Amino acid sequence: MLTATDSARRPPLSQLLQQRAALLTNLPLTTEQLAELFGYLAPRLALQGCDHTLGHTRCFAAAHGLRFEALRQFLGRHGGTCDCAVLTAVEARYAAIL
């Protein structure tokens, strides 16, 4: 059960909805595809590590018919400058809407 203190710390629903809308603006893939990208990267990076490129992301984009350059720019704006950063920075930022 939430206490009055818990409720006071939570942002209003309208603010949460505005934040969600801002995250969805200019998304070059669907939220489902974004979740799939995270799921695609995790096992590959666990096995191979990160080579500090977007090589796995590029392969995912090609396999899903996505424009890589638009995806690269989007990920870069959110801290995803290599495959492991996509999993850490971008996934953390978008976890709430997936």
Whether 6 maps to a domain, the answer reads: no
Question: pLDDT by residue (tens digit) across 18-60?
Answer: 666 666 777 899 999 999 999 999 999 999 999 999 999 999 9
pTM of whole model > 0.85?
no
Average pLDDT estimate for 83-92: 96
Range of the domain at 58: 29-97
Whether 82 maps to a domain, the answer reads: yes
12 confidence band (pLDDT: 50, 70, 90): confident
Structural domain total, the chain: 1
Whether 20 maps to a domain, the answer reads: no
Whether 1 maps to a domain, the answer reads: no
pLDDT at 96: 79
d(CA 75, CA 40): 15
Whether 19 maps to a domain, the answer reads: no
